[in-house]
Chain A
């Protein structure tokens, strides 16, 4: 019995090591600290390279470009993708569903969506960046210029000369 639980503990240990046993502290620009697993933090290529370089893991990472609200949301994504396995069909479907709900929520608040996009870009979180940019692209897709202006609240400032140029290029649109 003792050897059995010992083996199980060793296996759990090994698994933990693999997925990142250490905890990492990320600090938002408001000074709020978030403690995440290394596996979760490794979703960010920026942090990953700093960890691999043997940088200041213990001191934590200050993120001067990200506010607390955005960072909390980004970490939510990283936890989901970093800490969970995605080997079976079911697991992958669960992740896909998470992504779908995640982006649907962001899509309702465009300003927040942009903040998360910028954070994903800054932290080089490829999956999250692809998710948010695709969401913005989907908003643009299939709309006329007028509809795009309405959707994003953009002021029309093109000059007559610009319009002339556009008309010339517009032979196929």
Chain B
């Protein structure tokens, strides 16, 4: 009985709401002088041309104005050139831009978010090649072995492997030929913010992680630094498919696993299910 009453009440409310909207719309149409919805009057095509003139942030805001505005402002046609513009001149293109089902708008916003990410993942380390240089604080003996200091050749290179090993090119003057492993360490404060985040090779001094304007990475300590080498032409792109947030990890309930001496973080299992639905996303160049 109560159920029946509730249902009837809801229907009444819906009808009222519908009536109210209809009235509102009619009123709006009659009113002249700056009070008309340009999407109604100009149509989607012309409004799309207007939005082409706007910067990305303004168009993003247009998506939150009304349903009609959203229909225009979220169009791939508007966002495809903005995506291209965003990627131009960057060192790395995030792998998430390869998600085939994503709209250009969501690709754009995910890419922006990923560009701001300061937390490095194993994918970032393994996907990029790295230039290795000693700093001025390094002992002269080591600096003399570094071609970038002596201007005798290109900087030395270092590689991170998914199995946790770390390597250099053959004939590398500094490389001792010993076994070498790497670890990403992330610790969190009680409020979910990252307290400490660094990459460590063997038991050597930790390297703090930073990121540049062009989305390239730098790992550095007082003795040496690693710089990711631009690789925008790499097929399948680089980095994690689903990046980790920099904050509020405790809220998102991240789980971690230690794989071959490397701490890997993953977001919620439902994200993993999403990956599983797109099996081709696992395909990776070797």
Mark A residues whose CB is within 8 Å of B: 109-111, 114, 117-118, 121, 129, 133-134, 136-137, 140-145, 148-149, 152-158, 162-163, 166, 168-173
Contacts and interface: CB of A to CB of B under 8 A. Distances in A.
Contacts of A166: 63-64, 70
Interface stretch (B45-53, B160-168, B184-192, B259-267): B45-53
Given A137-B53, A137-B54, A166-B63, A153 B36 contact: yes
A82 B24 CA distance: 43
Contacts of A170: 60, 64, 109
B46 A121 contact: yes
Interface of B is mostly: helix
Given A141-B58, A169-B106, A153 B28 contact: yes
A32 B34 CA distance: 27
A155 B29 CA distance: 12
B65 A149 contact: yes
Nearest to B60: A173
Contacts of A114: 36, 38, 41-42
A173 B55 CA distance: 11
A168 B102 CA distance: 13
A109 B34 contact: yes
Contacts of A142: 58
A162 B69 CA distance: 12
B33 interface: yes
Nearest to A153: B35
Interface residues of B, number: 40
A171 B113 contact: yes
B37 interface: yes
A137 B51 contact: yes
A137 B69 CA distance: 13
Interface string B12-36: 0000000001001100100111111
Given A110-B33, A149-B66, A169 B24 contact: no
B234 interface: no
18 contacts: A110-B35, A111-B41, A114-B36, A118-B42, A133-B49, A140-B62, A142-B58, A145-B64, A148-B61, A149-B65, A152-B35, A153-B36, A154-B66, A157-B21, A158-B66, A163-B64, A168-B106, A169-B105
Contacts of A121: 46, 49
Contacts of A152: 34-38
B65 A154 contact: yes
B78 to A, nearest CB: 12
Interface string B152-188: 0000000000000000000000000000000000000
Given A141-B54, A155-B25, A136 B38 contact: yes
Nearest to B53: A137
A172 B41 contact: no
A163 B51 CA distance: 21
